[in-house]
């Protein structure tokens, strides 16, 4: 393959046959390229009749900015490029209510949403009878190795196509957030406003979110019966009481249902900052599940990353805020969210303009701001017990 550069104004071709980059040669690079192919295709095992793929909702590995209605409720497409930090060593807990903790868990989307056979199978033949049942006999309410119970990756390793999801994960680790827009407003001043509002309480860290996977999933491991106290968490630190279901770590499980039901969520990365069913009438998707039931999220949401937020409108889990300015309006529908870190935060119009400019400037090159230690209460290194 080759490319040429054409100057239309002069009707000349200044550069002929610009060589393309060489094909990957190392096993790791080839694995990433294979993962990109699986991420992009809807053929074969990845969907029914080739109608959809990962890239359909995550173009370029980012987001289509569409709010879809899923079994858990309305969900704005999450930017896949914010799954791992630039080192590939830190991973966000996944989905809007922290119901997944491995990339391999999205096998459930491949099967149930895309209608594909999937890649966690006992035989490579494209037959739904070959699916390995890793959700368990009780279905969604009682998963064995699906959602955030056990390890879908460990189940995949026992199957006939053990490396397919590994390859997709390897590709996702390579994704980088698009270069952000630093025009308009005072970005430096906006960073100071961000810190004055204590936005870093939730939106600090390597991925601009406190949501980070804090343990290694294991086959058949089950954190649902383990309280935070039993996992070694004595208190929730300085996290506001109104942002969690309880301040008593002996009364909060590591994995626990939302008040509106299953699936279980990683409770330590969920915060209630007043965004459930918030916003002006007619804005955003209704808080309803795909089956018509009340949506999950009344107890809070998995803190989203701010990476690529400038290109991510509309905002929030249900697309309830059309612009950053609407989301950050101190007198608007989302004022509780704006003041989640500082209840006496009283920004001026200039402050808000600068804050919005700073948020739009955030990409992988932006120096991060640490999450205060007293805002984290995940049981680091907990080992899921095996029943």
Reported as a single tens digit per residue, the pLDDT across 201-210 is 999 999 999 9
pLDDT of residue 277: 95
User: Coil, strand, or helix at residue 300?
Assistant: coil
Give the residue-averaged pLDDT of 3-19: 83
Domain annotation covers residue 78:
yes
Domain annotation covers residue 124:
yes
pLDDT tens-digit readout, 115-131: 999 999 999 999 999 99
Least confident of 65-74, 173-182, 267-276, 368-377: 173-182
For residue 107, give its domain range: 27-174
Look up the CATH number of the domain holding residue 141: 1.10.760
Domain annotation covers residue 303:
no
HSE, side-chain direction, 13 A CA sphere, residue 368: 19
CA distances from 225 to 264, 323, 334, 342 (A): 11, 40, 35, 34
Q: Is the predicted pLDDT of residue 1 greater than 60, yes or no?
A: no
| Total count of domains within the chain | 1
Dump the DSSP string for 203-251: H-TTTTSS----S---TT---TT-BTTTTT----TT--GGGSS-S-TTS
pLDDT of residue 282: 78
pLDDT of residue 141: 63
pLDDT tens-digit readout, 189-239: 999 999 999 999 999 999 999 999 999 999 999 999 999 999 999 999 999
Give residues with Cβ within 8 angstroms of 38, minimum separation 6: 46, 54, 119, 164, 167, 168, 171
**Whole-angstrom Cα distance, residue 25 to residue 245?**
51
User: Coil, strand, or helix at residue 3?
Assistant: strand
Q: Is the predicted pLDDT of residue 137 greater than 70, yes or no?
A: no
Give the residue-averaged pLDDT of 146-156: 94
Q: Is the predicted pLDDT of residue 69 greater than 60, yes or no?
A: yes
Which two structure tokens, joined as six digits, stand for 181? 């827009």
Domain annotation covers residue 305:
no
pLDDT tens-digit readout, 250-308: 999 999 999 999 999 999 999 999 999 998 887 899 999 999 999 999 999 999 999 99
Give residues with Cβ within 8 angstroms of 325, minimum separation 6: 352, 356
Dump the DSSP string for 240-293: -GGGSS-S-TTSSBSEEEETTEEEEEEGGGEE--S-TT-SSTT-S--SB-TTSS
Q: What are phi and psi of 231, to 5 degrees?
A: -85, 5
Domain annotation covers residue 32:
yes
Domain annotation covers residue 315:
no
Which two structure tokens, joined as six digits, stand for 66? 């569409």
Report the share of the chain in percent with pLDDT over 70: 98
Task: Output the average pLDDT for the chain.
Answer: 94
Domain annotation covers residue 156:
yes
pLDDT tens-digit readout, 305-323: 999 999 889 999 999 999 9
Domain annotation covers residue 331:
no
Which of 141, 139, 119, 140 is closest to 131 using CA atoms? 119
Dump the DSSP string for 87-110: TS--B--BTTTT-B-SGGGGHHHH
């Amino acid at each position: 393959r080759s490319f040429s550069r054409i100057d239309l104004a002069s009707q000349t071709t200044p550069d002929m046959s610009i060589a393309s980059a060489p094909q990957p040669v190392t096993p790791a690079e080839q694995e990433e390229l294979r993962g990109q192919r699986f991420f992009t295709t809807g053929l074969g095992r990845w969907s029914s009749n080739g109608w959809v793929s990962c890239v359909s909702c995550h173009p370029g590995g980012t987001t289509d900015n569409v709010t879809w209605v899923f079994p858990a409720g309305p969900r704005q497409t999450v930017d896949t490029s914010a799954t791992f930090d630039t080192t590939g060593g830190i991973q966000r807990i996944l989905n809007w209510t922290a119901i997944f903790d491995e990339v391999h868990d999205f096998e459930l989307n491949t099967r149930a949403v895309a209608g594909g056979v999937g890649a966690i199978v006992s035989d490579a033949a494209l037959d739904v009878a070959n699916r390995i049942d890793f959700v368990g006999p009780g279905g969604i309410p009682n998963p064995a190795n699906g959602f955030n119970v056990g390890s879908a990756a460990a189940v995949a390793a026992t199957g006939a196509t053990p490396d397919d999801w590994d390859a997709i994960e390897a590709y996702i680790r390579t994704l980088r957030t698009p270069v952000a827009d630093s025009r308009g407003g005072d970005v430096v001043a906006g960073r100071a406003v961000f810190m004055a509002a204590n936005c870093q309480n939730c939106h600090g860290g390597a991925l601009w979110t406190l949501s980070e996977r804090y343990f290694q999933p294991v086959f058949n491991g089950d954190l649902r019966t383990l309280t935070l106290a039993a996992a070694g968490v004595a208190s929730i630190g300085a996290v506001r009481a109104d942002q969690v279901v309880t301040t008593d770590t002996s009364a909060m499980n590591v994995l626990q249902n939302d008040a509106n039901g299953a699936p279980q969520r990683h409770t330590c990365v969920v915060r209630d900052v007043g965004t459930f069913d918030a916003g002006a009438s007619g804005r955003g998707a209704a808080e309803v599940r795909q089956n018509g039931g009340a949506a999950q999220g009344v107890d809070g949401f998995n803190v989203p990353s701010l990476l690529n937020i400038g290109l991510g409108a509309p905002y929030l889990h249900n697309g309830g805020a059309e612009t950053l300015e609407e989301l950050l309006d101190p007198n608007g529908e989302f004022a509780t969210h704006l003041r989640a870190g500082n209840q006496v935060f009283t920004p001026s119009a200039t402050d808000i303009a600068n804050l919005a400019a700073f948020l739009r400037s955030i990409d992988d090159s932006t120096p991060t701001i640490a999450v205060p230690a007293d805002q984290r209460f995940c049981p680091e290194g907990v080992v899921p017990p095996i029943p």
